[in-house]
Amino acid sequence: MTYLELRNLGLKFGAEVVLEGVNLSLEKGEILAVLGSSGAGKSTLLRVLAGFERPSSGEVVLSSKVISSTDSLVNPEQRGVGIVPQEAALFPHLNVFQNVEFGIKKLAAPERKTRVSELLALTKLSGLADRMPDQLSGGQAQRVALARALAPKPALILLDEPFSALDAELREQLRSEVIEILRREGATAILVTHDQEEALSLADKVAVLRDQHIVQVGSPAEIYNAPADLGIATFLGDSILVDGEVVDGKVQTSLGRLSALNHIENGQQGVVAIRSENFYLQPNPAGDSEVVGRVFFGHDAVVEVRTPNLTIRARSNGPFAPEVGMRVTVWVRGAVNFYPSAK
């Protein structure tokens, strides 16, 4: 049964359209990532869900109750929604224990202590209960913010780019910890992010938001392997675009005849989007292509190859990646997505 549903949600500020026709649904306990570039409307969507903005059209239904619509709005503090902001935004005059306790003051003191202690243990903060916010690292502060949001056992958790202010190593570590915590709590959550890797690796479902519209929703694998349009294909990962024409059920390109993942019709012209990991480089002294660049990452390498008709980037196994100057034959592994030209 659908737990959270956004029905034709829209928001305008005067004549400016900020969100339009947003339809989304989420099951209880699912984690949804809303992925989009800056200005797409991600944070505004969270503000509507949190109750800070009244929609101009449509409605939000949470646990069978309308919490936002054009003519009704449940106040933010009454809708059971927890928020983890981009920066922890802890109360500077309260220690860690008091910050986590803040939203459950209505509980009896023993219950508050038990709940806070549970969450401090879950977020690996048990030894920091008496510390003040200015004594915490960035990662510790974000874990406190998450514990505070979870303390009242909210119906929904909203995470607004919560890892973007952290350095790369800490960001990767905290991502894994936060998702583990959310799953152990059985939380239903929406994460907004501009980071494709973050969205694909953390969520059960991904919604791509572009120009104030949801343009595709699916599992991380569906979004990555079968982008709905060329814009999504190039936004998600490194793709090489190659012109092609459908001939006898295959896409004829300068890299050979390729099978298509999606429906194609003979005579169509357009482009195929090929992921860098779908190229196979076969060392061949008589090959028609030459390695002209290589960036080595250890576990893999990105190899730039000049073919007779275009230059491609291929992701190759690091220790066995061909060296600059080597001749190779380029193969495309598996089927590709074909995008017909507009008629």
Q: Select from 231, 264, 279 the last residue of a domain.
A: 231
18 with 141, same domain: the answer is yes
40 with 176, same domain: the answer is yes
Mean of the per-residue pLDDT values of the chain? 92
- In this predicted structure, the answer to whether residue 194 has a pLDDT above a threshold of 80 is yes
Domain count, the chain: 2
Give me the mean pLDDT over the 129-152 stretch: 90
Q: Select from 204, 231, 258 the last residue of a domain.
A: 231
Cross-strand pairs, 264: none
- In this predicted structure, the answer to whether residue 319 has a pLDDT above a threshold of 80 is no
Q: For residue range 266-308, what is the model confidence (pLDDT) as tens digits? A: 999 999 999 999 999 999 999 999 999 999 988 889 999 999 9
Can you give the residue range of the structural domain that contains 296? Answer: 238-340
251 with 185, same domain: the answer is no
The pLDDT value given to residue 321: 87
The pLDDT value given to residue 343: 65
- In this predicted structure, the answer to whether residue 167 has a pLDDT above a threshold of 80 is no
- In this predicted structure, the answer to whether residue 327 has a pLDDT above a threshold of 90 is yes
The pLDDT value given to residue 39: 81
